Structure 1
Amino acid sequence: MSCSGSTCSVTLGGAGARAHVLASTIAFGAITDGRATLRVGGRDVTLARGDEVTTDSLRLVCTDVTRDTVALTVERR
Structure 2
Amino acid sequence: MPPTKNTPQHGPAIRALREKDGLSVEELAARIDMHPQSLRNVELERRPISHRRLNLLARALQVETAAISRETGPRKGAA
TM-score range for the pair, normalised by the shorter chain length: under 0.3
Bigger RCO (CA 8 Å, 6+ sep): 2
Q: Would you tell me which structure has more helix in proportion to its own residues?
A: 2
Normalising by the residue count of structure 2, what TM-score does the alignment of the two structures yield?
A: 0.24
Structure with bigger strand share is: 1
